[in-house]
């Protein structure tokens, strides 16, 4: 068994709900989300009714795109531009990983996480198509629960690496 589970979502709102569910199950700094910045020019300040001080989960992201309430779910939220893909919004540990691997794209960054190259390229293609990827790192015994939670919220192509 591995130490990371990734799931692909067609619906960004469902990805957000999965990330909230993961956080509620005790994952905090281990949740990552990556999606294309759709460039809608607005910042969605969704109050999730969660968090210690009622802060908007989007606090700190001013990139011109939205990721709903995901930024408050994990540390390290940010905006990136990946050649061949364009602007991305990334939340959690994956943000640092992808910013360091910008030239290698998403697939190159995921290889550093132990994701096989073929799967990394598929996840990169999913992002290009406007899908959202949620991942969580954890102990072997908890990853099956995390995978089930992602599936419950509409993820497909859920894999543990």
Per-residue pLDDT of the chain (161 residues; tens, 9 = 90+): 468 999 999 999 999 999 999 999 998 889 999 998 876 433 232 222 333 333 333 233 223 333 445 544 444 455 666 666 777 888 888 877 776 655 567 887 788 788 999 999 999 999 999 999 999 998 877 899 999 999 999 999 999 99
> Within a domain: residue 55?
no
Q: Give how many domains the chain has, as a whole number.
A: 1
**pLDDT at res. 113:** 84
Confidence (pTM): 0.74
> Within a domain: residue 153?
yes
Contacts for 106-114: CB closer than 8 Å, 24+ residues apart: 106/34, 106/82, 113/4, 113/161, 114/2, 114/3, 114/4, 114/161
> Within a domain: residue 56?
no
**Measuring CA to CA, which residue among 6, 17, 29 is closest to residue 107?**
6
> Within a domain: residue 70?
yes
**Residue 5, SS3 per DSSP:** strand
The edge-to-edge listing of strands for the beta sheet with 4-9 is 78-82, 86-91, 31-36, 132-137, 4-9, 156-160
**pLDDT at res. 57:** 33
> Within a domain: residue 24?
yes
- Count other C-beta atoms under 10 Å from residue 131's C-beta: 20
> Within a domain: residue 51?
no
Give the whole-angstrom CA distance, residue 26 versus residue 19: 11
> Within a domain: residue 50?
no
**pLDDT at res. 36:** 87
**pLDDT at res. 42:** 32
> Within a domain: residue 47?
no
**pLDDT at res. 99:** 64
Q: Which domain holds residue 151?
A: 4-42+61-160
């Amino acid at each position: 068994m591995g130490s990371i589970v990734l799931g692909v979502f067609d619906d960004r709102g469902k990805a957000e709900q999965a990330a909230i569910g993961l956080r509620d199950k005790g994952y905090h700094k281990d949740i990552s989300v990556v999606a294309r910045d759709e460039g809608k020019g607005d910042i969605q300040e969704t109050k999730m009714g969660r968090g210690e001080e009622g802060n908007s989960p989007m606090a700190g992201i001013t990139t011109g795109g939205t990721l709903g309430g995901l930024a408050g779910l994990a540390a390290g939220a940010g905006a990136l531009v990946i050649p061949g893909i364009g602007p991305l919004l990334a939340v959690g540990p994956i943000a640092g990983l992808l910013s360091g691997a910008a030239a290698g794209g998403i697939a190159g960054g995921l290889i550093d996480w132990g994701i096989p190259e073929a799967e990394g390229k598929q996840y990169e293609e999913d992002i290009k198509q406007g899908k959202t990827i949620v991942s969580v790192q954890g102990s072997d015994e908890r990853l099956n629960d995390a995978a089930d939670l992602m599936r419950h919220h509409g993820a497909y192509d859920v894999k543990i690496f």
